[in-house]
A and B are shown apart, each in its own frame.
Chain A
């Protein structure tokens, strides 16, 4: 209840364009938002870009937030993810040339993954081509299905599947090298 009351107070302050309230909201959601931003970034500087653009959008469109439709966390997460995808799109134009009906599952030794740290895995993911990177994170980490990914990225479901297949293959090769 206290957290909800604080959120409401912060929201009121943000609605009034109060910088102190905006900074408090930003600090409250910093770690949560930064974790999401890092998934769509190649490095910390990319994540900082995503964060700054996303929070400016959050404060500008704070009036459009409707608490009856979802939590503030979910609303902020959606904005961070969309900003992350925009950032990836700015690096590469998503191609529609390739499509797949099914995605193959290359054999990957899970024990290797478990031995790796989060930063090492993040490095591997960040090395993927931008579109493949976006599809992999949306599918494997965020839990979207191919239809939702296709809508978000403006591509077909087959293309989304192809990118996932490419991500799996590339990760398999990279993990094979790290062994």
Chain B
């Protein structure tokens, strides 16, 4: 299936980023949440209450639904930029998943 999102700038320089154990090539300096969506990632985390899947919702740092874990710290993907070698995990799920 095609990703739900289309990237209008496919020529940007791409760098490897690890997300939940998978290597993705994402545009350097791009908004991380947007880059993950464009790469076909649909679920960024599962809620601690019911385990329901979640993905970016507001894209402006207000809703906290795009939480990810980077180097042991839970952060908002929509408030970060793509950098080479980022190691991202779904929060509290460990880097292998």
A associates with B: no
By a beta-carbon cutoff of 8 Å, the part of chain A in contact with chain B is none
Residue ranges of B at the interface with A (Cβ–Cβ < 8 Å): none
